[in-house]
Amino acid sequence: MTHAGVHVVFYAIIAAASPLVLTATFVVIRSDRPRTNGIAFLTGFLVGTAIACLVGLVVGTTVVARFDSHSKIENVLTFLLGAALLVVGLRGRKAPPRPVSEGSSRSEAILAGLGRVKPAAALSMAALLGFGGPKRLLLTLLAMAAVTEAGFSAPADATLVLVYIGVATILVTVPVGIVILAGERAAEILGRGQSWLTEHATVLRVWLSIGLGLALMVDAIVRQFG
């Protein structure tokens, strides 16, 4: 279980490392209804991540059952994802700086909508974020493939899935938890955090992409030839 657990946590950490998700969380918990919207946002994010895990388990079971070289497929996908992140990071170093709120049209739509949403809308938008874009969804699929490939018992598999969900959602769980416990007293701290994140968004995106991309590529190479 150790080997599979390490890779599940590894993929979960990379999935969690998203400036967009953290910024969206800050926007929600600094809205007019911070606790209510925060709880709804966290619930939706957890549900979206859990659905992605369920899809990943189905896909992982199918791949393991049909392909003898499923580990090679996983290694190739891991390497390609790492290479894509590395390219994005290197290209980002040459691009003019811009805050995270001025990213892709998808990012703009999410952040613009979250500033004035009601709990039901916060839940649904968070579910989409939790399910993930291409990077997060592929990482979830890879993590669930590692779970099914290990061939453990159902309780062990469930534990690994819960570990993945817990780690992959930590950038939402912690800020929302602070708001639930501290309420208005957390506003100033979270406001400083949001300002810092916006100011350093470009640098974070670049170095996260480069660092995580290299980590994925090295992991794929070591598993393939180690």
pLDDT in tens, 156-211: 889 999 999 999 999 999 999 988 888 767 766 777 777 777 777 788 888 999 99
| Closest alpha carbon to 103 in 198, 217, 34, 196 | 198
SS3 call for 203: helix
Name the token pair of 76. Answer: 């190739």
Tell me the C-alpha distance between 176 and 26, whole Å: 9
pLDDT at 226: 63
**What pLDDT does 168 receive?**
97
- How far is the CA of 11 from the CAs of 4, 71, 203, 216, in angstroms? 11, 15, 22, 9
Do 60 and 145 meet the contact criterion of CB atoms below 8 Å apart? yes
Question: Per-residue confidence of the chain (226 residues) as pLDDT tens digits?
Answer: 567 889 999 999 999 998 889 888 888 888 778 888 899 999 999 999 999 999 999 887 776 656 655 677 888 889 999 999 999 988 887 665 554 444 455 566 666 666 667 888 889 989 999 998 899 999 999 999 888 887 778 888 899 999 999 999 999 999 999 888 887 677 667 777 777 777 777 888 889 999 999 999 999 999 877 6
Give me the pLDDT at residue 27, please: 85
Q: What is the model's pLDDT at position 108?
A: 61
d(CA 102, CA 94) in angstroms, rounded, equals 17
In the chain, domain spans: 2-221
Q: Which residues contact 86 (CB under 8 A, 6 or more apart)?
A: 209, 210, 213, 214, 217
Are 52 and 140 in contact, with CB atoms under 8 Å apart?
yes
- Report the C-alpha gap between 62 and 45 in whole angstroms: 26
Q: Determine the pLDDT at residue 107.
A: 61
Q: Are residues 85 and 213 in contact, defined by beta-carbon separation less than 8 angstroms?
A: yes
How confident is the model at residue 41, as a pLDDT? 94
The position carrying tokens 């967009």 is: 20
* pLDDT score for 122: 87
Q: What span, in angstroms and rounded, lies between the C-alpha atoms of 11 and 78? A: 10
pLDDT value of position 13: 95
Residue 15's pLDDT is 95
pLDDT score recorded for residue 67? 60
**How many angstroms separate the most distant Cα atoms in the chain?**
55
pLDDT of residue 102: 44
Q: Which amino acid is at 96?
A: P
Which two structure tokens, joined as six digits, stand for 36?
Answer: 């209510």
